[in-house]
Structure 1
Amino acid sequence: MASTKTVIILGAGWTGLPLAHKLLKYTSIKTSLRVILISPNSHFFWNVAATRALIPGMIPDESMFIPIANGFAHYPVETFEFILGRATGIQPSSNSVAVLTNNGESRTFHYHHLVIATGSSIASGLPLKPIGTHEETLTAWHDLQAKISDARDIIVAGAGPTGVEVAGELAAKFGKLKRITLIMHGDAPLENSRDILPSIRTTLDKDLQKLGVKLIRKTRVETVSVGNDGKTQVLSLDNGSTVVTDLYLPLLGIRLNNSFVTDSFLDSHGSVKLDCNMRVVGIENVWAIGDVSTAGPKQLTVTDNQIIYLASALDAALTEKGPVTPYQPIRQTMVFLSLGKKYAAGQIGNWRLWGVLVSYVKGRNLFIDTARGYVGGKHLRHAPM
């Protein structure tokens, strides 16, 4: 019988978790396989709903944070291991990865194949994505909810998808009870997003204003300081003006979770460089996927294609089928935004979607009803091999 092959997946988020399920469901029946999933998070954060759930009372914690181990309990124990910890270094020459576990133990794991799927964080550190262990994320999450509850004036900076949705959700919930402001560098929402139809920007702009969001255009926040009262925040803008708020939410991009990756494996933007088969350039048995890599745009809507391909490529490598065809990334734009349950906008390719359709599919409950099945491998966002 062939010796057991070990695949280590670093990261149990939107790419690493479903990839582990794919390998365990379909590849493990073809060859002797052990999957080790390593992540500091004991719970999967359903952060596709975070823009609404950050409002206290909207979505309970148990719907947003789903235990990961429970979702893998149905696999044979010899085929799967879940390690709570974070990678601190990779040694391709010895096929090993160093890990600092959540309890402070330093361990070394050896692999036949390694997948880097550690994703990204919000650049400002706001917990709309995991910020560390589950306990650390949950503490920061509750702190943010409390601040939103107490604030009467909230300023969101950054008119990308997350900033637009947060401003819209806050305004949809609180109306005139709280003053919501969105600061944008451009003249309209999503101005920095590639290939967005002008009509989508116009629709979002109008809908935000209908909800009562104040839009401050063509400026950036330069500095943030504490007001004389010791509570408010004073924002100095690059247009020379100053605004004061109870709560400032900077949603200006992401930070890649790549601190353990050797600089030579990264491009100038910090993404792990991949070849045409999603392997790390120059390394036969190390792969990467999702935000942390150069596999495609840093957005959830394109990860299905990456998961399908990498699962097939690993299956071929593990079963010695030979090489697979080069990866073909999705080129078309896919955007689906909900501003509360009433307003929404979406685009696939050059097609604008009806707002009522996006609202019905996404805006109603932000797919919360599928979360537990997804974490358990029952509702994977892609077809089996």
Structure 2
Amino acid sequence: MAKTVLILGGAYAGLHVAHALLKKQDPDVKVVLVSKISHMYWNMASVRAVVPGQLGGEDLVRPLSTALSRYPSTSYEIVIGSADSSDFDAKTVTVTVTANGTTRTIAYDQLVLATGSRCPTDNVPWKANGSYDSILDSINRAKESVKNAKQIVIAGSGYTGIELAGELGYEYQKDGSKTITLLSADADDKSMFGGDMVAPALANELRKLKVNIRHSVRVVDARKQEGPEEKWAITLEGGEQVTADAYFPTMGLVPNTEYINAKHLSESKTVVVDEYLRVSGAPEGTVWAAGDIVSKPRAGFMITQKQATTVAKNVELALKGKPPVVHKGMPMDVIACATGRGRGAGRIGSSIKMPSLMVWAAKGRTLGLNYLKGYVDGSVA
């Protein structure tokens, strides 16, 4: 009887691992991929997709069924649904199937946790918060809001907030048709972007694009006012009121780990793993994790790719009864943040600044969409 590898999550980490295992063409292994949406969603480019005249929502999605169709149908199964609970000792995961709302308990030999994270605010396209249709709808609604807005407010000065401000600033800096304001809870330029050394350079790039940056302000409430103009009423800590035609919150991420027993999680609700990317406290050599769901070192595309490679290798070894290999991350930490379609800022390691042109070439030019083909044709793994 074939052994079952259950992969929870059909995005960067999960689909990567699925391809790596299915390429082995082992008739004794079946991959079951559980994803809450039917498509691979390239959310990294969502900040550009909300700009009128740029990417469409359809440019960011590809069917999971297409991505795995090159493999024998008996070697895999795609389940569109969400994990509700898990029992690592019994080696089972309970899933609610989206199509009919039924509950299904799936037994596994090896389990990969790759359910990622979500935005704390619904109806924004920065993460796959909802269904395939709701993702496209949120992109289209955001695009329409940008199109009709004169005053745009973005809350949050992390990756998403800065890159969104950069995309909008790049598009509208010349005609001045829109006022773009970035609200940051941080005290100054240096403390933006998690206090990383590239923060001042990013702030400088945004100001070149005529983005207004307000420091030491925190949004406590934002409501869309009723009426023909549909303006946003934004309340800041301290009581100040700000009005906008379009409002985009980008603050924080919530790990999708509610289905996992708390003993396997950190204080921040991410999964705790060892040097092999095995989940802490789970039966040895049966549960692994990769991507945003992992507690270390941080969320990041290149970090996820490295983790997915290690997890796929260790699952393969575990199926053969062999010991795992130690995960080797990036040789140096790399940060690259785009500020529109022309420039950006970044660093290599703790001290080497990346030239703006290098950031544009590495990320800003395509926001990684050039990698999407690899996730569809399997060459990513």
The TM-score with structure 1 as length reference comes to 0.91
**Displacement after TM superposition at 1:240 (Å):** 5.0
CA distance in 2, matches of 1:331, 1:180: 37
Deviates more, 1:235-244 or 1:349-358: 235-244
**Displacement after TM superposition at 1:330 (Å):** 4.3
Deviates more, 1:173-182 or 1:86-95: 86-95
- Partner residue in 2 for 1:265: 264
CA distance in 1, matches of 2:195, 2:353: 12
Q: Do residues 112 (structure 1) and 109 (structure 2) align? A: yes
CA distance in 2, matches of 1:190, 1:368: 30
CA distance in 1, matches of 2:94, 2:330: 33
Is the CA contact (8 Å cut-off) linking 2:275 and 2:326 kept in structure 1? yes
CA distance in 1, matches of 2:367, 2:97: 32
Instruction: Summarize the alignment of residues 39-78 of structure 1 with structure 2, pairs less than 5 Å apart.
Output: 39-78=35-74
Residue 193 and residue 61 in structure 1: after superposition, are their counterparts in 2 closer, same or farther (change >3 A)? Answer: closer
Residue 195 and residue 248 in structure 1: after superposition, are their counterparts in 2 closer, same or farther (change >3 A)? Answer: closer
Partner AA of 1:258 in structure 2? T
Q: 2:29 aligns with which of 28, 33, 41?
A: 33
Is the CA contact (8 Å cut-off) linking 1:195 and 1:333 kept in structure 2? no
Is the CA contact (8 Å cut-off) linking 1:6 and 1:35 kept in structure 2? yes
**Displacement after TM superposition at 1:97 (Å):** 1.1
Deviates more, 1:156-165 or 1:47-56: 47-56
CA distance in 2, matches of 1:49, 1:377: 20
Q: Do residues 87 (structure 1) and 83 (structure 2) align? A: yes
Is the CA contact (8 Å cut-off) linking 1:41 and 1:134 kept in structure 2? yes
Is the CA contact (8 Å cut-off) linking 2:157 and 2:193 kept in structure 1? no
Partner AA of 2:163 in structure 1? E
CA distance in 2, matches of 1:210, 1:130: 31
Partner AA of 1:105 in structure 2? T
Residue 85 and residue 226 in structure 1: after superposition, are their counterparts in 2 closer, same or farther (change >3 A)? Answer: closer
Deviates more, 1:359-368 or 1:221-230: 221-230
Is the CA contact (8 Å cut-off) linking 1:295 and 1:329 kept in structure 2? no
- Partner residue in 1 for 2:144: 146
1:161-189 superposed Cα distances (whole Å, 9 cap, x missing partner): 11000011011112211110001122445
- Partner residue in 2 for 1:354: 355
Deviates more, 1:367-376 or 1:357-366: 367-376
Is the CA contact (8 Å cut-off) linking 1:86 and 1:99 kept in structure 2? yes
CA distance in 1, matches of 2:224, 2:366: 36
1:262-315 superposed Cα distances (whole Å, 9 cap, x missing partner): 222222111122233222222121222111122421222311221121112111
Q: 1:165 aligns with which of 156, 163, 166?
A: 163
**Displacement after TM superposition at 1:74 (Å):** 0.8
Deviates more, 1:282-291 or 1:162-171: 282-291
**Displacement after TM superposition at 1:368 (Å):** 2.5
Partner AA of 1:281 in structure 2? S
Runs of 4+ aligned residues of structure 1 deviating over 6 Å after TM superposition are none
Tell me the secondary structure at the aligned position of residue 236 of structure 1. strand
CA distance in 1, matches of 2:169, 2:327: 41
CA distance in 1, matches of 2:253, 2:278: 23
- Partner residue in 2 for 1:211: 209
Tell me the secondary structure at the aligned position of residue 306 of structure 1. helix
1:226-277 superposed Cα distances (whole Å, 9 cap, x missing partner): 5585722222223553321112211111011112112222221111222332
Is the CA contact (8 Å cut-off) linking 1:289 and 1:295 kept in structure 2? no
Partner AA of 1:108 in structure 2? T
Tell me the secondary structure at the aligned position of residue 7 of structure 2. strand
Deviates more, 1:159-168 or 1:123-132: 123-132
Residue 237 and residue 332 in structure 1: after superposition, are their counterparts in 2 closer, same or farther (change >3 A)? Answer: farther
Tell me the secondary structure at the aligned position of residue 100 of structure 1. strand
1:44-81 superposed Cα distances (whole Å, 9 cap, x missing partner): 11112111111133012332111111011111111111
Partner AA of 2:337 in structure 1? L
- Partner residue in 2 for 1:278: 277
Is the CA contact (8 Å cut-off) linking 2:22 and 2:31 kept in structure 1? yes
CA distance in 2, matches of 1:226, 1:182: 18
Tell me the secondary structure at the aligned position of residue 17 of structure 2. helix
Is the CA contact (8 Å cut-off) linking 1:296 and 1:329 kept in structure 2? no
